Amino acid sequence: MTERESDVNPFLQGNFGPWRMEGVAGDLEVAGAIPRELNGTYYRNGPNPAFEPPGRYHWFDGDGMIHAITLGDGRASYRNRYVLSNGLKEERAAGRALHSGLLDLNPTEAPSFKNTGNTNIVWHAGRLLALMEAAFPTRMRPDTLDTLGEFDFDGRLIGPMTAHPKMDPETGEMLFFGYSPFPPFLQYHVADRTGALVRSEAIDVAWPSMMHDFAVTKDHVIFILCPLVFSFENMAARGGPFSWEPERGTRLGVMPRSGGNADVRWFQTDASYVFHPMNAFADGDEIVLDVARYGRLDFMSRQGVDNLDYRDDTAARMHRWRIDLRGGGVKSTPLDDITAEFPRIDERRLGRRHRFGYTAAREPELNAGGRPVWSAIRKYDLERGTTETRRFGAGNGVGEPLFVPRAETSAEDDGWVLVLVYDQARDTSEFTILDARDVAGEPVATVRLPHRVPYGFHGNWVGA
Ligand SMILES: [Fe+2]
């Protein structure tokens, strides 16, 4: 009998392993008190392969599953559903996986592609969209989590959409981009506050790359072009479609929001990879861009995934870039020496000067092995240069922290940090509400979920 991928792949084991039941649970047990101001739903997306993978599995491959925790009147309920993509429907009909993953792309065959919708879930203009960066958004029903189907902005979106659109807190616009290994390699898009796609423009880039996220300020858009180059030669030897070519360096493309492709200026910095910026803002003639920066990226090939070690410079650390729009340089300053990812801010500060940020962090003494288990939540005060850390213990991994303000007008860190925490001893998960002004202190409330929620990617809060 041949070995199953789930017997050998660490991303299919422990709390990385899929949870395959869909269900609903009301009146969950709560320790502490859920703040009455928290009225709404936290949606979280992540990869959750519905069937045993047919070949090598990459963490980015799994079918999307939405976990929704609804809070109101101090009570909590839970619901989870798959993003029911066309690909998953075919696989359910067949009773087995039909689509191979990222590490098994075969350039000589027609791509067998599945829009897993597994990366993020966002709310804009009355639509709940599950996103994965290589495809159209998938529209979901916010109450039942039924999949409504792919959404192409009424036929106006040509090409894929990033999983990391930016909602401008003043204009209500949704700014986003899409990248592709084939021309046009990069396109920039704007949806207005009603959700209508009002602008699409191809942006020239020096090479095709996997661009996971970007940044915006009040007046600029910043594209992050890293030396992770799409290359379909020697794919078998390299173990994937990407080639890490550090001699190219990393380039930051700054475009005025009032301008277009002809106005993009590129700024050079040391070779590095960024999945996630924390935020960007203008500071005089400079743009400040805080990012979770990897010195190199080994995560996108078979060999790299097999040999990951989160102690070395393959791990992300928070970092500040200052782009000098007048002088032309990029000043590069580490903000922290602890490994951290999934940076978030108060979304009301998006594109504006932020003082506080939140990440999932790894503690050095727990840094072993090749799986990104984040065991702490770390708050940054970037004005004072201080951090605060809430530890959950080895094996009790956390997900992306999400800040929710107490009220529309409350101060930047007056609110809560919502985070899913795995409880390894009980093999279940908890939804933890931390006081954003006392992240290291005891949680304000802990909601016991009916079962574990696998480690995933991104989530957002939608007020009732
Ligand atoms: Fe992401």
Sequence-distant (6+) residues with CB within 8 A of 48 are 18, 19, 20, 62, 63, 64, 65, 82, 118, 454, 456
Q: What is the pLDDT of residue 70?
A: 98
CA 277 vs CA 121, 280, 316, 354, 439: distances in Å = 17, 8, 11, 13, 21
pTM reported for the whole predicted model: 0.96
* Alpha-carbon torsion (158, 87, 342, 30), positive or negative: positive
Q: What is the pLDDT of residue 312?
A: 62
304 has a pLDDT exceeding 80: no
Span 208-247, pLDDT tens digits: 999 999 999 999 999 999 999 988 877 777 777 888 999 9
Q: How far is the CA of 408 from the centre of ligand 1 (A)?
A: 26
Instruction: Work out the pLDDT band at 299, boundaries 50, 70, 90.
Output: confident
Instruction: Work out the pLDDT band at 311, boundaries 50, 70, 90.
Output: low
Coil, strand or helix at 361 = strand
Q: Which two tokens stand for residue 405?
A: 């303000």
Q: How far apart are CA 453 and CA 455, in angstroms?
A: 7
Q: How far is the CA of 118 from the centre of ligand 1 (A)?
A: 10
Q: How far is the CA of 343 from the centre of ligand 1 (A)?
A: 10
Q: How far apart are CA 150 and CA 157, in angstroms?
A: 11
Q: How far is the CA of 300 from the centre of ligand 1 (A)?
A: 14
Cβ proximity of 28 and 78 under 8 Å:
yes
CA 197 vs CA 152, 202, 427: distances in Å = 9, 15, 44
Q: What is the pLDDT of residue 191?
A: 98
Coil, strand or helix at 304 = helix
Q: What is the pLDDT of residue 366?
A: 63
Tracing tokens 């009732």 back to the chain, one arrives at: 464
Span 145-176, pLDDT tens digits: 999 999 999 999 999 999 999 999 999 999 99
Q: How far is the CA of 235 from the centre of ligand 1 (A)?
A: 24
Q: What is the pLDDT of residue 97?
A: 94
Q: How far is the CA of 177 from the centre of ligand 1 (A)?
A: 14
Span 432-453, pLDDT tens digits: 999 999 999 999 999 999 999 9
Q: What is the pLDDT of residue 368?
A: 55
Q: How far is the CA of 43 from the centre of ligand 1 (A)?
A: 15
234 vs 140, residue with greater confidence: 140
Which candidate, 422, 352, 409, places its Cα nearest to that of 37? 409
